[in-house]
Structure 1
Amino acid sequence: MSALDGVFRRHWGPAVATLARWSGDLSIAEDAVQEACAEAVDVWPRDGMPDNPGAWLVRVARNRALDRIRRESLRPGKELAAVLDDIGTERTPPPHPVRDDELRMMFTCAHPALDRVSQLALTLRLISGLSVPEIARALLQTEAAVAQRITRAKNKIRQANIPLRVPPPHTLPERTEHVLSCIYSVFTEGYWSTAGPSAIRDELCDEAVRLSAELCALLPDSRDAQALAALILLHDSRRDSRVDRDGALVPLDEQDRRAWSRGKITRGLQHLRNATGAAGPYLPQAVIAAVHATSPDWQSTDWGTICTAYDRVIDLTDSPVARANRALAIGFRDDFAAGLAALDAVADDPRLARSSTVASIRADLLRRAGRFAEAAQCYEQALAASGSAPAQAFLRRRLDLCRRIGATTADAASGRTTAEP
C-alpha cells in the first residue's frame, strides 16, 4: 500500500485539477478522484499497475463524476442530456498563459472572495492532496479549524457561483502571492515530513520543484517567484544527504557535503541572483539556504548573515518559527546561553503550542552547552509533539545520548565508576 500511496500522491493534484476544470465542481472532482484511488487499491494489485496511472485515475474518476451528476441532477431529461453532453465534449481550450492544470487551479483558488488562509487550506487539500492534519501543522492551526475552513470555502465557491476557470491574465500578478505560499507549503511538507514512516516525501519535493519552475516560466519578471525557486532548489540540493541508507535523519552538521547536488546549487544561486530586490519573505530565506549550500564545512558557516536574514524574515512575516530558528542561529553566532535567552522570548507563542519546534531547539542548545540532564527533559517534550517516525527516532537517539552522558557525568561527580554496582 505504501507504494500505491506514493503513486496516488503524485497524481492526486493533476487528477483533481483536470476533473475540476472539466466538471466545474470542486467537491465532485475531489470525491471522484478519491473513489478512483479506492478502486485502484482493489484493481491494481490484481491486474497490475497501468502504464499511465494518472490517465487511468482521470478516466475512472470522470466516469464516477458522470454517475454522480446523473444521480443528483433534478433537471428534466432533455436538459440533463444537454448538460452531460456539454461537459463530456472534449474541446481545445483557448490559448492562455497558464498551461499547467495545477497552477491553473492554484490561481483559481486564489479568488479574492476567499480569505488568504482559506485559499491556502483549500489549495493544499485539492491540488497537493495533503490531509487535514498535515495542513493544520503547516498553518499552525487546529485540525477542526482547517476542516471548517475547507468546507466553508467550497460552500462559498458553490453558493457565490464563483467560476472554476482560469482567471484573466491581468489578475495573475495579484494572486501570485497565494500560489507562492502553496508551492512552498507543498515543498515544506515533502522536505520536513510532519507525519508518517518517511522523513522525506520525494513526490511532494519533486512537485514543488516542478511547479516553482513553471511559475518562473509563466512570470519571468516576478522576483518573488525567482526567490522561491532559489529557496526550494538550494534546500533540495541536500535532499539525498538528509537520510542515511536506513532512512534515519542526518543533521546538517553531519551531512556529507560532497554528496550535495552541485547542479541544483548552481541553478538555485542563479535564481537567487535573478531575485535581487524581491520584497517578499522568500529572498531572505533563500539567502539562509545559500549560506549553508556554499559553506565548505559546518565550522565555516556565516551565522552573522543568517541571523540578519532571519531578522528580515521576522520583519516581513512575524513568524514564530523564524524567531525560534533565529534563536538557534544566535546560539551559534554568539554563544548557547544567548541562543537560549532568545528562545525564551518566543517559547510561549501560542502558535507554537502544538509544535515540537521550541522543545527540540532548546534541547539542541542545551546539549551543545553540555547541560545534558536538562537537554534530556527537552528531548522528551519534543518527542511528545513530534510527527514522523524518523523524526521521533532521531530525537530518541539524542535523548539516549544525553541520558548516557548525563549519567556518566553524575557518576564522575559522585566519585563512582561504571564498574561499581
Structure 2
Amino acid sequence: MSDVELVLRSTRVITPEGTRAATVAVTGGTITAVLPYDTDVPPGARLTDLGDDVLLPGLVDTHVHVNDPGRTEWEGFWTATRAAAAGGITTLVDMPLNSLPPTTTVDHLRVKREVAAAKAHIDVGFWGGALPDNVKDLRPLHEAGVFGFKAFLSPSGVEEFPHLDEERLAAALAEIASFDGLLIVHAEDPHHLEAAPQRGGPRYADFLASRPRDAEDTAIARLIAQAKRFDARVHILHLSSADALPLIAAAKAEGVRLTVETCPHYLTLTAEEVPDGASEFKCCPPIREAANQDLLWRALADGTIDCVVTDHSPSTADLKTADFATAWGGISGLQLSLAAVWTAARARGHGLEDVVRWMSERTSRLAGLDRKGAIAPGRDADFAVLAPDETFTVDPAALQHRNRVTAYAGKTLHGVVRSTWLRGERVVAGGEFTAPKGHLLTRTP
C-alpha cells in the first residue's frame, strides 16, 4: 500500500461481488485494491471521499457513430467524447461508417486514429467495416487492432457503405471466422423493407409500418444460419423486434456464438408516445410499441439480450425534417444513456448492479476490453460517480453533443453523474472538463 497514489471511498461501491462500502486504491491509473471502507489512507495518497454517492465502473459504449472525419458537422471526437464523459462513459468504440473515409482499410483506420488522437476526452477504439468488395482488407484491419467488423444486411443510408447480400455475407463471415474475429450486424432484410408500405410524411405510424418486425426477424434468422455454417462469432446490433427473441434464445441454447444488444431508446421510449413529425425519435430499426418493450426488458433480465449501448447516431438539425421518410435516422443518446436506462430499470425493479452488468461489464466483454468494466484489482481506474436518486429535466441546451437534438427533451430522469474518472484522473466534474486524456485502444491479441 505504500505506493498508492489515490484512494476513493464510498458507502456504495459496485464491485463484481456486489455493492458494498469500500475504499478503492489506485496506483499508476490502475486499481490495485478494493478494501474495507474504514481502511487507513496510506501516507502521501490523495483521498476523495464520495460519501453516499455510488462509485461504479465507467460505462463502455460499443456502438457510437462519431462521424469524424468527413461529417464532423454532425458530431466529432471532441464533442462526442465530452458528451460521453458527462454521462459516465469512459470508453467508446466508434462505428466505421458516417465518417469519410469509412474505416474499411488500414489506411482509412490510420486517418481516423490521427484525427481522434488529440480530441479524445475518454478512451476510444474502432470497429472496421465489412463491405461487398473489401474481404481482402479484413485480416489486415484485424491485425491493425480493430475490435471487429460492422456489416449491414440492408442499405445503410450512406452510399460509401453498401450492404452485404447473402453471398457477400458468407464470404465476409468465412474470412472473419478464419481468424476468429467478430462480425457485428445491422440485421434488417431488404426484401421485407421493399415490400413494406412506404407512404412517407409526418405520421409515425406510417414510418413504423415501413420498418416491420419481420424484416429484423428474417435477417436474424439468416445471420444465425450463417453463424452456424462457419462456427463464427456474430453480434446482433440494436435489436428492436421482440418477435426475434425465441429464435435468438434457441440459437444460444444450441451453442451458436451469438450475442445481442439493444439500446436505451428501445427500453425507454414507445411508439405510442412519438408525436407526428417528431423525427428526433426516428431510428432504424424503429422504436416499437410498449408491449414489445416489455418483452425486451424480460429478455434483458434473463440474458437473452446481453447488453445495452447507445447507437448514438447524430446529424445536423436540418436533416431531422418532419417527414419521417426523408429525415435522418438516428438518435443522439451518449450523455443521457445511463440516466435513461437507470430511470426505466429502477421503475421495473432492477438495481444499479444490473445496469452496470448491461452497460459496462458485458460491453467490455463483447469488445475484449479486459481492463475495463469492473471495479477490481488490475482493471483501469475508470469510474463514474452517480447520485442515483437525484433527478434532472433534460434541457437540450445543456448537452455536450454538437447538435443538441434529443428525443429525451423535457423528460425527468433519475441519476446525476457527479464526476467521471479515467485511469484515476477526474476528466469531468460539475460540468468542468480537463484537457483530453483519452487513449486510442486496440484489440487485445
The structure with the largest alpha-carbon Rg is 1
**Length-normalised TM-score, structure 2:** 0.30
Flag the structure with higher helix content. Answer: 1
Using CA pairs under 8 Å that are at least 6 residues apart, name the structure with larger relative contact order, 1 or 2.
Answer: 2
Flag the structure with higher strand content. Answer: 2
